[in-house]
Amino acid sequence: MVNIFDVDYTILKKPTTWYFLREALSEKVIRYSQIRRLPIEWIFYRLGLPNFDFIEQAVRHIAGIEKKTLETLADTCFERKMKAGIFCEAIRLIEEMKKRGEKVFFATSSFGIIIKPLEKFLKVDGSISSVLEFSDEKTTGRIVGSSLFGPKKKDTVEAWLKENRIDPGDVRFYSDSYTDLPLLNYSGEAIAVNPDRFLKREAKKRGWKILRFDKTLNNKGQRFHQHVSFGKAQLKELK
């Protein structure tokens, strides 16, 4: 079985961009004027009216940033903010999968350069993610191909599965969002994790398993993870 996880609200308590942009604004790598449209897009998303092209539109405003700066920022952001937001239940679940010899991947609309530290920390096998375009080691304001948001995530993962000769029936996909319904429907097993109200309704109608993750990896939990197994972490299945 190949396990594929969405990241925001599934592995992490908050969106990767929330952690990253806070750090970028703090370090003055990005100005608020460059991302002022994002709160509006977030409101439409929560209302069930997503703009599936908003990522392509947003990156136009961040051209000219050095790749090394983003990589350093991603590492700093992970250590300062993102790591503490990892769900303990997700860690335990991934550890169990690895012990069984199963493959684990991320499929996320977030950028690979941002989630690389998370990927290394959890020792997953890889990620299928949105990719920033660079020229002369600086952002161009464009994406390589398309972002992995909504139907475009399903199309990208479908192509990746074919390239790697993986039957979609052998895929177990975990997500929190209604925008991932195309990929959830395509996968052999669909599992809703902390689902939004739209996905929760659909999951109940289709009889999909629903999991609730709520414990995060705070500073005390980080040391716990390094020295003790997560045998006590509970996976709560909602009926």
Amino acid 181: pLDDT: 98
Model confidence at 217, pLDDT cuts 50, 70, 90, reads confident
Q: Whole domain around residue 99: which residue ranges? A: 2-237
Amino acid 148: pLDDT: 96
* pLDDT of residue 220 exceeding 60: no
For the segment 82-107, the average pLDDT, to the nearest whole number, is 97
Q: Please, how many CA atoms are within 13 Å of residue 141, restricted to the half-sphere of its CB?
A: 8
Number of domains present in the structure of the chain = 1
Assess contact for 233 and 89: CB atoms under 8 A.
yes
Which of 73-87, 90-104, 222-236 shows the lowest mean pLDDT across its residues?
Answer: 222-236
For the segment 183-206, the average pLDDT, to the nearest whole number, is 97
For the segment 95-122, the average pLDDT, to the nearest whole number, is 97
Model confidence at 228, pLDDT cuts 50, 70, 90, reads very low
For the segment 43-47, the average pLDDT, to the nearest whole number, is 93
Which CATH number characterizes residue 23's domain? 3.40.50.1000
How much of the chain exceeds pLDDT 70, in percent?
91
* pLDDT of residue 233 exceeding 70: no
* pLDDT of residue 226 exceeding 50: no
> Strands 138-143, 132-135: parallel, antiparallel or unpaired by DSSP?
antiparallel
Amino acid 210: pLDDT: 98
C-alpha torsion angle, residues 182, 185, 190, 193 (rounded to 10): 30
Q: Does 219 or 123 have the greater pLDDT score?
A: 123
CA–CA separation, 93 and 23 (whole Å): 29
For the segment 114-130, the average pLDDT, to the nearest whole number, is 97
* pLDDT of residue 22 exceeding 80: yes
Amino acid 237: pLDDT: 52
CA–CA separation, 26 and 191 (whole Å): 36
Average pLDDT, the chain: 91
